[in-house]
């Protein structure tokens, strides 16, 4: 259906009579008298039509529509190839190959193997949650390498599911399409209505952090190498060793055991914690909806009615789909089935969060890692962005791509707030809160391994930008990735968070194409906003800062320019030095505004 839907959208954006009416409203003197949100709507709709081919005529118009249809087909093919490799490559282990793996992971792997027709064995599936845990804990170095190679080679194995030719065609078609509109490259076209506005500003931000993050990688690798040698290991740190030895260094330096932390991270309790934050900061109440009374697409999906905590007014429904299953794409994401609007009768929100956790044994709680708990809160930030919407016009919900990760990244900060720790991070067996000394270790280690996490993300963002500013004619994606990372000085001990053949953010659609930098851009805002809460009397539950946050940065969606909205919240632009402090890179970059 993707090509058919793309053709349908092209008929709308290329409808000359419709665009003439949009232009008439846009150019009318009386438009200046409309409310501010209506003026922004008129401007954005006009730009969107122009950006998507409404000004083209004749053969250019026909070619543009044909490119759109073909790209839609390629995006679907890209996604299907990735999914095929995620489901087609499973490593089955026997009892003697489980060294170092936590008991709950082993149990989950056993259930996975049984469901795949291999009872008595253990399945390491080709998903991030399974790969990450295995690489962190397995003492079998050869198996770690096998799992690492399988995961990071998804859709890049030279077989029927290889995406390199698909990517090459996508890049050529994107470039041809924007050339029809008079743009030098796809990045310039894509960024014209983002906060960054132009590729040079994106590159400046990413490279200002790159030097500090890769320098930290060098330090992290040296620490790991020293520890490995002290244990008598005869090896050089490779990418499949990074998580394993980072965990050992973490334990040695901070006496922090990820397995111990996990005992306090029950999925059900974390869900309750999110709802508590939503009540205290955003004024919402979440009430379970009786199973079967609302249609869902799978029995795992939980539904909650969201109401205003004070007035009891209905806000919307929230769908939570937490567990992995066959046919479900990997990762975590948020979406809406219906967005808020009140310009022609009020419609309430249908919001959803989706994850891929491995369910606990029957009757046992599902325990997740600290990273997974952070991701759970992250996606809930998107959900709260949907639910707080006060937008009159449905197309103004959300926001520009390099701003909409701000709300989700900021919500991660509440996971480590005192109230959440005391009330919800309790041991799954004893019910006792996480001990103060363990909390102190987590906070002390908060900047640990930031070289790895920052560099793998920056590498993906820099590659995204490079692909969309290069001449795509004759470009070999595999060779281009290798050459560009070498030019950047990519440390050999790790890889991009999303390697090119499975970089779905960028090549399974256009939402994040030349937009993956948005996570880093938004994190500058996040770090700066977090300091606003830290400076307030009530900390992360300070009522005044929370009110300003919801009023200025959540509820308006895209009805206000995000740069103006942030100034209204903070009284100034965000400063990059907050990000550098947050990641433990203080003093590594200037404190410019953002």
> Any idea which residues carry the catalytic annotation?
379
Provide the H-helix boundaries in 231-322. Answer: 239-254, 258-262, 267-282
- Hey, is 317 helix, strand or coil? strand
Cβ neighbours around 40 below 10 Å, total: 18
Question: Which is nearest to 517 in space by CA: 579, 461, 594, 456?
Answer: 461
Question: Cβ(537)–Cβ(550) under 8 Å?
Answer: no
Copy the structure tokens of residue 153: 């080679």
Question: Cβ(294)–Cβ(303) under 8 Å?
Answer: yes
Question: Cβ(68)–Cβ(6) under 8 Å?
Answer: yes
Question: Cβ(154)–Cβ(147) under 8 Å?
Answer: no
Q: Backbone phi, then psi, for 122, in 5-degree steps?
A: -135, 125
Environment class of residue 568 by beta-carbon count within 10 Å: exposed (0-12), middle (13-18) or buried (19+)? middle
Rounded CA gap, 15 and 11, in Å? 6
Q: State the Cα angle at 310 between 306 and 311, rounded to 5°.
A: 80
Question: Cβ(432)–Cβ(426) under 8 Å?
Answer: yes
Quickly tell me which residue has 């609007």 as its tokens. 341
Copy the structure tokens of residue 520: 């880093």
Chain mean position to CA 529 = 19
Rounded CA gap, 229 and 465, in Å? 39
Rounded CA gap, 319 and 352, in Å? 4
CA atoms within 13 A on the CB side of 495: 16
């Amino acid at each position: 259906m993707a090509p058919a839907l793309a053709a349908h959208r092209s008929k709308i954006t290329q409808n000359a009579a419709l665009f003439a009416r949009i232009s008439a409203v846009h150019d009318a003197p009386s438009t200046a008298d409309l409310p501010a949100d209506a003026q922004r709507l008129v401007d954005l709709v006009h730009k969107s039509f122009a950006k998507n081919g409404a000004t083209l005529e004749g053969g250019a118009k026909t070619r543009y529509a044909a490119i759109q249809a073909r790209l839609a087909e390629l995006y679907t093919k890209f996604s299907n190839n990735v999914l095929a490799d995620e489901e087609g490559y499973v490593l089955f282990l026997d009892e003697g190959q489980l060294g170092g793996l936590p008991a709950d992971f082993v149990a989950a792997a056993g259930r996975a193997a049984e469901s795949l027709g291999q009872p008595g064995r253990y399945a390491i599936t080709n998903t991030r949650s399974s790969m990450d845990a295995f690489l962190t804990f397995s003492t079998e170095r050869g198996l770690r390498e096998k799992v690492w190679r399988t995961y990071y080679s998804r859709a890049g194995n030279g077989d029927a599911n290889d995406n390199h030719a698909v990517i090459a065609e996508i890049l050529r078609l994107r470039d041809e399409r924007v050339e029809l509109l008079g743009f030098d490259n796809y990045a310039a076209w894509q960024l014209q209505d983002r906060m960054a506005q132009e590729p040079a500003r994106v590159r400046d931000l990413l490279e200002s952090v790159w030097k500090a993050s890769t320098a930290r990688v060098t330090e992290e690798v040296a620490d790991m190498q020293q520890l490995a040698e002290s244990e008598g290991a005869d090896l050089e740190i490779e990418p499949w060793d990074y998580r394993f030895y980072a965990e050992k260094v973490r334990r040695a330096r901070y006496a922090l055991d990820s397995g111990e932390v996990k005992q306090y991270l029950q999925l059900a309790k974390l869900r309750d914690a999110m709802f508590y934050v939503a009540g205290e900061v955003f004024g919402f109440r979440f009430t379970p909806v009786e199973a079967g009374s609302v249609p869902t697409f799978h029995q795992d999906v939980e539904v909650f009615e969201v109401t205003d905590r004070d007035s009891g007014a209905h806000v919307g429904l929230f769908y939570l789909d937490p567990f992995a299953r066959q046919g479900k794409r990997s990762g975590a994401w948020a979406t809406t089935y219906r967005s808020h609007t009140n310009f022609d009768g009020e419609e309430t929100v249908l919001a959803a969060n989706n994850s891929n956790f491995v369910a606990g044994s029957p009757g046992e709680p599902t325990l997740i890692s600290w990273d997974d708990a952070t991701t759970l809160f992250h996606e809930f930030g998107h959900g709260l962005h949907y639910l707080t919407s006060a937008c009159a016009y449905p197309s103004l919900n959300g926001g520009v791509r390099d701003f909409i990760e701000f709300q989700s990244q900021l919500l991660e900060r509440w996971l480590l707030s005192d109230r959440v720790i005391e009330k919800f991070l309790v041991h799954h067996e004893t019910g006792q809160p996480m001990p103060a000394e363990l909390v102190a270790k987590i906070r002390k280690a908060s900047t640990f391994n930031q070289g790895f996490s920052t560099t793998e993300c920056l590498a993906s963002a820099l590659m995204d930008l490079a692909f969309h500013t290069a001449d795509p004619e004759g470009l070999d994606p595999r060779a281009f990735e290798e050459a560009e990372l070498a030019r950047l000085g990519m440390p050999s001990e790790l890889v991009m968070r999303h390697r090119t053949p499975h970089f779905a953010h960028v090549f399974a659609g256009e939402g994040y194409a030349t937009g993956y930098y948005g996570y880093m851009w938004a994190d500058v805002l996040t770090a700066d906003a977090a300091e606003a809460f830290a400076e307030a009397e009530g900390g992360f539950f300070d009522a005044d800062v929370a009110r300003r946050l919801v009023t200025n940065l959540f509820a308006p969606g895209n009805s206000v320019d995000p740069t103006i909205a942030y100034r209204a919240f903070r009284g100034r632009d965000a400063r990059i030095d907050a990000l550098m402090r947050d990641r433990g890179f203080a003093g590594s970059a200037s404190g410019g505004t953002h």
